């Protein structure tokens, strides 16, 4: 086999392996301890959208000034988001305080996401019929 053919086949194998690999994206949403209900609902809906698309989501609570003395407020927000997302997400990293930020990571539950996609597809089929 000549060198040109070898080089071509190696390039093809590399191309195929890039096609098969999945690119995991981590989306980050930042909350504040004193977030209003409407803002909380909007951001939480965004979290759901990202999870349904198959992305991991990193939730960050940003504390300012004396707020860092009350980490229970941040934990309460993260627990509320986690509770709302428990049907489609798995809590990958539990809430942990890192300096002035408290973070938690949610990853999509593949089976639940697939069920949601099937339900939406059947819903669209029934509407178009």
The C-alpha atoms of residue 21 and residue 29 are separated, in whole angstroms, by 26
Please indicate, yes or no, if residue 92 is contained in any of the structural domains: yes
The pLDDT score that the predictor gives to residue 120 is 81
Please indicate, yes or no, if residue 115 is contained in any of the structural domains: yes
Say which CATH number the domain at 72 has: 3.30.110.10
State the average pLDDT over residues 67-75.
92
Task: Supply the range of the domain harboring residue 111.
Answer: 23-128
Please indicate, yes or no, if residue 64 is contained in any of the structural domains: yes
pLDDT over 70 at 129, yes or no: no
Please indicate, yes or no, if residue 3 is contained in any of the structural domains: no
pLDDT over 80 at 30, yes or no: yes
State the average pLDDT over residues 26-51.
94
pLDDT tens, residue by residue, 41-54: 999 999 999 998 88
User: CB under 8 Å to 60, separation ≥6 — which residues?
Assistant: 28, 29, 30, 31, 101, 102, 103
Please indicate, yes or no, if residue 28 is contained in any of the structural domains: yes
pLDDT tens, residue by residue, 99-119: 999 999 999 988 888 888 888
Please indicate, yes or no, if residue 117 is contained in any of the structural domains: yes
Which position has the higher pLDDT, 101 or 123? Answer: 101
Please indicate, yes or no, if residue 1 is contained in any of the structural domains: no
Q: How many independent structural domains does the chain possess?
A: 1
pLDDT over 90 at 78, yes or no: yes
pLDDT over 90 at 83, yes or no: yes
Token pair for residue 37? 């209900």
């Amino acid at each position: 086999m000549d060198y040109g053919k070898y080089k071509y086949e190696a390039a093809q194998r590399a191309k195929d392996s890039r096609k098969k690999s999945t690119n995991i994206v981590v989306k980050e949403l930042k909350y504040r301890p004193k977030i209003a209900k409407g803002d909380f609902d909007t951001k939480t809906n965004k979290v759901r959208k990202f999870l349904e698309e198959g992305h991991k989501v990193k939730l960050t609570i940003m504390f300012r000034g004396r707020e860092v003395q009350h980490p229970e407020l941040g934990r309460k927000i993260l627990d509320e988001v986690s509770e709302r997302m428990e049907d489609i997400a798995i809590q990958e990293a539990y809430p942990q305080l890192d300096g002035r930020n408290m973070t938690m990571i949610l990853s999509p539950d593949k089976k639940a996401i697939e069920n949601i996609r099937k339900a939406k597809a059947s819903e669209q089929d029934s509407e178009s019929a």
